[in-house]
Amino acid sequence: MRLRADEPKHRVWTRMPVGPPRRHRGYADRTSSNAFGRLEADRAPDMTHAGFTAFDATLRDGRTVHARAMCPADEAELLQAFNRMSDDARYMRFMRVVREPNLERVRRTLASFPERGMGVVATVPAADGVDIVGTAIYIIDSARPTCEFAVYVSSEFAGAGLARTLLTVLIDSAKNRGLSEMEGFVLAANQPMLRLASRLGFDIAPDPDDRSVRICHLRLNG
């Protein structure tokens, strides 16, 4: 994704929000964390993002994930999730080769929630507490009632319905906040994400500035 209010129109979308969607990259990141903080974040009641309440979701293959609001205490787990990503997954998420995450950007993004957007993580139990296996964020445009989104699901949970669950949460939240439009940018090669966006009602069109990219656009107010 590209989410950046001070840049010309960029792209958004795909896999792991270890940074903001692309358009607002200059604006969005921040965090600090420790193991205790990660556990507390996963257990705490969640009403911090425009009325969003944490919930457990049963996926198509029978596995269960815990979905809750993203918070600064997630920094370490988000970085671990980034390190577990394959080169291909990173390319799909960032639309370029990314070897190391931008920690300052991560922290600014996390600190911008919930005022400037929303983030959701899907977690499963792990030896160190939890692992993040899916993330979804949107960043609100500073000048218009619109937002850009990004979604990531780890390869171990691909095809189980987690991306649909997370993106549906984002859409519902954006509607509840009175936003009028949501958009994202996805590589044309990322057919699973394009099919999901289409099923959820997004219009999909080529990016006039980049033939390898598709723009996904959804009207939220009818």
Q: Is the pTM of this model over 0.85?
A: no
Check pLDDT > 70 for residue 42: no
Check pLDDT > 50 for residue 46: no
Q: Is 122 helix (H, G, I), strand (E, B) or coil?
A: strand
Token pair listed for 188: 């044309």
- 184-213 mean pLDDT: 94
Q: Is 69 helix (H, G, I), strand (E, B) or coil?
A: strand
Distances (CA, A) of 203 to 4, 31, 135, 185: 22, 34, 22, 11
Determine the Cα–Cα distance for residues 60 and 189; give it in Å rounded to an integer.
24
The percentage of the chain sitting over the pLDDT mark of 70, rounded to a whole number, equals 73
Determine the Cα–Cα distance for residues 167 and 66; give it in Å rounded to an integer.
15
- How confident is the model over 105-137, as pLDDT tens digits? 889 999 999 999 999 999 999 998 999 999 999
> Please, which pLDDT band fits residue 30 given cuts at 50, 70 and 90?
very low
For 35-63, b/e burial (b = at least 16 CB within 10 A) is eebbeebbeeebebbbebebeebebeeee
